[in-house]
Each structure stands twice: as C-alpha cells, then as structure tokens.
Structure 1
Amino acid sequence: MIPNFKAHPWHGIPVGDEAPDVVNVFVEIVPSDTIKYEIDKQSGYLKVDRPQQFSNIIPALYGFIPRTYCHDEVLRLAVESGAQNVDTGDLDPLDICVLSSHNINSGGMIMEALPIGGFKMIDKGEADDKIVAVMKGDHAFGHFRDISELPQAEVKRLMHYFLTYKNLPDEPAKCTIHEVYGAEHAKKVIQASQQDYANKFGG
C-alpha cells in the first residue's frame, strides 16, 4: 500500500508542462487577508509572517511559482536591464500575483496562471521580481496576454502596494521598481528562476 503524503509546495509541485507560458502557482495570500502568510520552507505549511499593520491590502492573489529560486540568473537579468545597487537575487521562490474576478477566500491552494508581465523590484540590494499573471480561464482577466493591455489603474494599484507594503509612515521607501516589463521578459525571469532552482537544488 502506498502511503499518503502531502507534497511540499515549493519542491514537490511541478512548475507545469507549459511553463513559462502557463505556470502553476501556490497561493499564499488573498485580498481579504489581514495577516501576511508565507510558506515555511522547511515544513511546507503556511505560517504567519506578520499581521498587516496598515490599510494596504494585497490587490490580487499572491504566492510563488514552485521549483523556482531567485539568485544569480535572476540577478543577471536585473543587471542587464540596467538595475543599479543590486547584489543578489532575494534567495526565495519567484513571487507572482494573479489577477482574477473570482472571490477566493483563502490561500494554500494551487492554480494555473498565464504570466503577462511583471515588476523589476529592488529591495535593499536584492532583485525581487514580482510576476503579474492572470488566472487561467478567468472570464474577466483570462484573455489578457500582456501587461500593456491592462488598465493603467490596475497596474498602478499593484505598483503602489509593492512600493508601500513594508513601509512605516515615518520611514523612507525600502523598495524601488526599476521597470515594468511585459510578458516576454516575464517568461525570461521565470526561466532564469528555474535555472537558479536547478543550480541550487538539482533537477
């Protein structure tokens, strides 16, 4: 008899056969959350990272792409794009936010998403890319194929969140967004993070 087991969300779930065009996403946070959850890298369970201190709420589903890692190859893309004051990848799985019109109440799930762009974010010297994607089959967002097709208000809303979610009111900004890029570069970032994962963990 084969014993049941729970696959580790980072290491035990494939990125998907159609990557980087369609990727699996492990969702950690949904827009209704007032607690920031993140994966515990050792156990694979969601853990409480911190309560949200202010009114900035994540405007999309948020998580990571399994079997990715942000290190030298992701750093190389940031440097090649002209980013300055960046020394390394952030040594975490690749972050991704997924736009959907559906009211999803909790994280800890897997979904398929289509990358349409991203933000080249630099956080205290680390390349911390945020991929922007749409939920596969979503009736309101699923037809978008590039971030340039989104309403600018939607892009600015995402940018504002990522630029402010770590800041206290009396502190200077900790993060900068070097550039907003489209689907083609987003897929390069995904592939670079897959290579970084293979270099770090094998496979």
Structure 2
Amino acid sequence: MIPNFKAHPWHGISAGEDSPNIVNVFVEIVPSDTIKYEIDKVTGYLKVDRPQKFSNIIPALYGFVPRTYCHNEVMKLAIESGADDVTMGDHDPLDICVLSSHNIHAGGLLMEAIPIGGFKMIDGGEADDKIVAVMINDHAFGHFRDISELPAAEINRLMHYFLTYKNLPDEPAKCRIQEVYGADHAKKVIEASKRDYSEKFGG
C-alpha cells in the first residue's frame, strides 16, 4: 500500500511540463486576504507572515512558481536591464501574480497560468522579479498574451501595490521597478530562476 503524503509546494511540484509557456503556480494569498501568508520553506505549509496594516491589499492572486529560485542567473538579467546596484537575487522562489475574474476565496492551491510579462523590481539591492500571468481559460483575462495588451490602469494597480506594500505612510520607498517587461522576457526570467534552482538544490 502506498502511503499518503503531501508534496512540498516548492520542491515537490514541477514548474510545469510546458514551462515557461504555461507554469504551475502555488497561490499563497488572494485579494480578499487582510493577512499576508507565505510558504514555510521547511514544512511546505502556509504560515502567517504579517497582518496587512494598511489598505494595500494584493490586487491579484499571488504566489510562486515551484522549483524556482532567484539568485545569480536572475541577478544577471537585472544587471542587463541596467540595474547597476543589484548584488544578488532575493533567495526566494520566483514570485508571480495571476489575473483572474473569479473570486477565489483562499490560497494554498495549485493552478496553471500563462506568463504575459512582469516587473523588474529591485528591493534593497536584490533582484525581486514579479511575473504577471493570466489564469488559463479565464473569461476576462485568459486571452491576453502580453502585458502590453492589458489596460494601463491594471498595470498601474499592480505596480502601486508592489511599490508601497512594505512602506509606512511616512517612509521613503524601499524598492523600485527598473522596468516593465513583456512575455518574452518573463519567460527568460522563469528559465533563469529554474537554473538558479538547479544550481542551489540540484536537478
């Protein structure tokens, strides 16, 4: 008899059979959450990171691509984009937000998404890319294939969240967005993070 077990969301699930064109996403938080959850890297369970102190609620599903890691390869892409103050990746799985018109009530789930672009975010000298994707077959967003096709208001809403969610009202910005990139570069970031994962944890 095969014992039941739960695969670790980071290490026990692939990035997707057709990645980087379609990727698996482990969703940690959803737009209705007033608490920021994140994966516990040891156990694989969701844990409370911190309550959200202000009204900066994530405007999309948010999580990471399994079997990715952001270090030297991801850092190189940031430097190629002109970020001359970057010294490393953020040593975390690759972040991804997924646009969907559906009201998903809680994280801790797995879904497939199509990367359409992303933000080259620099946080305290660390490359901290945020991939933007759409949920497969979503009625409102599923047909988009590049971030340039999104309404500007949707892009600005995502950018505003990532630029402000760590800040107190009277604090200077702790991070910046070096560039907004399209689907082709997003796929390069995904592949780079997969190489960083293999270098760190093995194939």
Whole-angstrom CA distance in 2 between matches of 1:116 and 1:83: 22
The code of the aligned residue for 1:28 comes to E
Q: How does 1:18-167 map to 2 (within 5 A)?
A: 18-167=18-167
1:8 aligns with 2:13: no
The code of the aligned residue for 1:124 comes to G
Deviation at 1:81, TM superposition (A): 1.0
Identity across the alignment (%)? 81
The code of the aligned residue for 1:163 comes to L
Deviations 1:26-76 (A, max 9, x none): 000000000000000000000000000000100000000000000000000
Whole-angstrom CA distance in 1 between matches of 2:132 and 2:43: 27
Unaligned runs of 5+ residues in structure 2 are: none
The code of the aligned residue for 1:171 comes to E
Whole-angstrom CA distance in 2 between matches of 1:32 and 1:127: 27
Please give the TM-score of this superposition, normalised by the length of structure 2.
1.00
Deviation at 1:78, TM superposition (A): 0.4
The code of the aligned residue for 1:14 comes to S
Deviation at 1:84, TM superposition (A): 2.3
Q: How does 1:161-176 map to 2 (within 5 A)?
A: 161-176=161-176
How many residue pairs get aligned? The number is 203
Whole-angstrom CA distance in 2 between matches of 1:69 and 1:134: 21
Unaligned runs of 5+ residues in structure 1 are: none
Whole-angstrom CA distance in 2 between matches of 1:31 and 1:136: 18
The code of the aligned residue for 2:146 comes to D
Deviations 1:67-102 (A, max 9, x none): 000000000000011112110000000000000000
Deviation at 1:119, TM superposition (A): 0.1
- Runs of 4+ residues deviating >2 angstroms: none
Deviations 1:99-147 (A, max 9, x none): 0000000000000000000000000010000000000110110000000
Whole-angstrom CA distance in 2 between matches of 1:25 and 1:89: 20
Please give the TM-score of this superposition, normalised by the length of structure 1.
1.00
Whole-angstrom CA distance in 2 between matches of 1:160 and 1:125: 19
Whole-angstrom CA distance in 1 between matches of 2:139 and 2:202: 38
The code of the aligned residue for 2:184 comes to E
